[in-house]
A and B are shown apart, each in its own frame.
Chain A
Amino acid sequence: DTGVSQDPRHKITKRGQNVTFRCDPISEHNRLYWYRQTLGQGPEFLTYFQNEAQLEKSRLLSDRFSAERPKGSFSTLEIQRTEQGDSAMYLCASSLEGGQREQYFGPGTRLTVT
């Protein structure tokens, strides 16, 4: 296994358009996390899944954001009606179950909203 992968790596979209990102975790990892990172800041937690269940959502995740992990494998993060403030790096991470486990991050998807 080559680690966590994310697609696309870069996305440029016009304000008001919808975008969808995909994350493929490490195959045996049942936990999957989404973070958002803006320039010069550390990542901020958005949401996480254990298998297909979405267990926690940050207040950062407005109604325009939705995440799914339908079969407990890959996950998608959709942003509807994008705004310029959505421009950021969207990072996905995965881990085994259990609070002691390390999180392994993907390369991220850089979103630019023009």
Chain B
Amino acid sequence: KQEVTQIPAALSVPEGENLVLNCSFTDSAIYNLQWFRQDPGKGLTSLLLIQSSQREQTSGRLNASLDKSSGRSTLYIAASQPGDSATYLCAVRRRGQNFVFGPGTRLSVLP
């Protein structure tokens, strides 16, 4: 059974810092991995999707990497802003199956 964990559970940083969020999964036979952002009481916003054949994806200040063999993905956020404050979730998908989500990392960027 695929299990997904995220470290840290919560993170508070001053504005302007670069930061890294971690996602680990137990079964490396994944199809793809997707990072989401969730604001309080709201739905999920897709940030980046990494296919199993890819090593990383970039979008603006965000960069996500994938190391299937070690069961890890990282989300790097450059020059953090207060508007980045949210919960960040990773989800992994095995072929023929649906997403398994981690519990999320709650990020606070202080002005």
Number of interface residues of A (CB under 8 A): 24
- B42:A107 contact, CB within 8 angstroms: yes
- B43:A42 contact, CB within 8 angstroms: no
Q: Is A33 engaged at the interface, CB distance under 8 Å to the other chain? A: yes
Q: Is B51 engaged at the interface, CB distance under 8 Å to the other chain? A: yes
Contact residues in B for A45 (Cβ distance below 8 Å): 98-100
- A42:B34 contact, CB within 8 angstroms: no
Q: 1/0 per residue A76-110: CB within 8 Å of B?
A: 00000000000001010100000110111111101
What is the minimal beta-carbon distance from A32 to any residue of chain B, in angstroms?
12
Among B42, B46, B51, B101, point to the contact of A42 (Cβ < 8 A): B101
Q: 1/0 per residue A52-90: CB within 8 Å of B?
A: 000010000000000000000000000000000000010
- A106:B34 contact, CB within 8 angstroms: no
Number of interface residues of B (CB under 8 A): 25
Among B34, B41, B104, point to the contact of A103 (Cβ < 8 A): B34
Give the contacts of A1-45 with B (CB-CB under 8 A): 4, 6, 33, 40-45
Among A41, A91, A107, point to the contact of B103 (Cβ < 8 A): A41
- Residue positions of B touching A, CB distance < 8 A: 4, 31-32, 34, 36, 41-46, 49, 51, 89, 91, 93, 95-96, 98-104
- Residue positions of A touching B, CB distance < 8 A: 4, 6, 33, 40-45, 48, 56, 89, 91, 93, 99-100, 102-108, 110
